[in-house]
Amino acid sequence: MTAQEAKIIIQELSDTINYHNTLYYQKSKSEISDFEFDQLLEQLSSLEKQFPALKLPDSPTQRVGGTITKEFENVMHQYPMLSLGNTYSFEELQEFDVRVAKGLDGDAYEYFCELKFDGVSISILYENGFLTRAITRGDGVRGDDVTTNVKTIRSIPLRITTKNIPSRFEVRGEIFLSKVAFAKLNKEREDIGEETYANARNTASGSIKMQDSTEVAKRKLNCYLYYLLGEGLGVQTHEESILKLEAWGFNVSPTYKKCKTIADVKAYIDLWGNKRGDLPLDTDGVVIKVNSLDQQEQLGFTAKIPRWAIAFKYKAQSLSTQLNNITYQVGRTGAITPVAELEPILLAGTTVKRASLHNANEINRLDLRIGDYVFVEKGGEIIPKVTSVDLSQRKADAIPVNYITHCPECRTELIRVEGEANHYCPNDKGCPPQIKGKIEHFIQRKAMDIDSLGERTIAQLYELGFIKTPADLYDLTKDNLTKLDGFKELSINNLLLGIEKSKQVPFESVLFAIGIRYVGKTVAEKLAKHFKTMDALMTANYGLLLATPEVGEKIAQSVVSFFNNEENVNEISRLKQSGLQFESTQKEPERLSNILDAKTFVISGVFKKYERDQLKDIIIANGGKVLSSISAKLNYLLAGENMGPAKLEKAEKLRVKIISEDEFEGMLKDISTR
């Protein structure tokens, strides 16, 4: 392929991917499958690697991340990001209206109302149509530069293609995790034995400050834009600004409304007070702004807030109902979750019968008694929560709740690891919910992807005694499956075919599927890339595991413990005999040069520009070798921040040359000039 041909294809692929991004993230429509979309992205990425000079400045491949940011630069806002005054009462809103009328000397005015979304405020600068900088709110005067992470959010344009746009302008909005994305993220954490996140807002805030933009991209953040700033914008009202944002391709929530009077504002507030539960994300109120920009300027600011805007905050609906009982659920990892069984109530549009109590600490904090009347709310949470006890209705003889000491399913005595809030059932090989949960985890799409096998079928197979571990799936026969309710010839053949096809799933997915505690999809990919084979991973000691990117002490200890268990080793052996993939098919980096031929490196510490995996790939691509330990034969210790003192001391003692990240880059300079 010539460069000219590649240029045409790169442009066509970019346009197609951008079209499908906009369709999916702004219009909630899809014309192609996720697989087809990923194939387009992979094709574009491959061409860009082959012809790097042709990569477009707004290439959709920026959306997948890949940049590591160790420190976020603190930047001053061109226009301060001020807070708004808040109110919870319509009477105070009427007082605000009186102040506006007085400040405008009786001139006619109107309001523009927008929902106040529960996310993370962001300011984004565009220059000559391109996204050049994204800054968090910070203290309102200065914020952190999170440009690399914001570029992974697919609803935010990397380039504005509309004609006659200002050469420089700023947009502001709210980055958020939708309810669906948040629930999915928590399900994944629960699946690997990690504590779930408390709420979507805090999770979005933490996500936008993650160091690895690849991980940010996986979070599926979204953003609604609601404010346009700059010189020569050609707008007279806030409404015109919003319409311009929409015309330029920004994702604007369609829930806004222009209101003539404060009575119209109240009607808008009441409308969304009832409907906000239907929204794809949480909203905690309404922002009311004077529509005219000239009138905004006339009203001005106090020391901290604008006089032309105010936020009406919805009170979190909290209702009292009776606690009838507490039941206990057992998860795949053995974690015990107490659940409040409630007298049913209608709360925020849905009937609530149950609410998570999280753990024993929460029950003690609430000082619960069976029969208590408790307050339940959904404020900012997807799952209802018990917030307090109505002590005025407590009976004098009410007895405090004693947390269970034995598993409700298998009666094994529970354990509690020091430093963790949850109790656990240690009977992972004999506790029914854990056994079925492990198999459900094993067959899921991100693991072995056996989509013809579901929760109900797994339960039947377990009850009939056909499966007790994932390896049993590969011993199933037609005769076994004929005993399942509703299974005929076609469904039996589909299930057996699905199990057979799973043998081609790559090693990193198999590693995730076997269910080592704390080893999620990302960690499994890192371990597979680092160790290459299951055998190498199984024999790795604690120190070697700690040297793997993304692997900390908790994960390393969990992996060692897993493979020290004889039953687990036997299970791995059975899976291997069944033909599963236990070797990585990830290719070594393409050779770029011989500049590091015969040179050996040990990489240690944290680096500003690279992950250790990236440095390893660069060294190998240029002819070098990466070793795991320091010896007298080692050429270089590539040292980052916070490296272990023992390695440094040993390298100095053996007179191994210690180089920094910048010195390493200097060794590679000759490559770029060739």
* Residues 268-298: b if buried by 16+ CB within 10 A, e if exposed: bbeebbeebbeeebbbbbbbbbbbbbebbeb
- Listed residue (88, 11, 10) closest to 49, CA to CA: 10
d(CA 339, CA 437) in angstroms, rounded, equals 18
How far apart (Å, rounded) are the C-alpha atoms in residues 548 and 604? 10
User: Please, are residues 61 and 41 in contact by the beta-carbon 8 Å criterion?
Assistant: yes
Backbone angles phi, psi at 390, to 5 degrees: -85, 90
With beta carbons less than 8 A apart as the criterion, state whether 146 and 211 touch: no
- Taking alpha carbons only, the member of 78, 178, 64 closest to residue 124 is 78
469 by DSSP, 3-state: which? coil
Q: Which of 27, 29, 49, 116 is catalytic?
A: 116
CA distance 644 to 632: 18
Q: Is 488 strand, coil or helix?
A: coil
Query: 145 CB contacts (<8 Å, ≥6 apart)?
Result: 72, 73, 74, 75, 133, 134, 135
Active site residue 116: yes
The token duo for 536 is: 């190498």
**What are the phi and psi torsion angles at 173 (to 5°)?**
-165, -165
Quick one: CA torsion of 417, 418, 419, 421, rounded to 10 degrees?
Answer: 50
- Cite the active site residues: 116
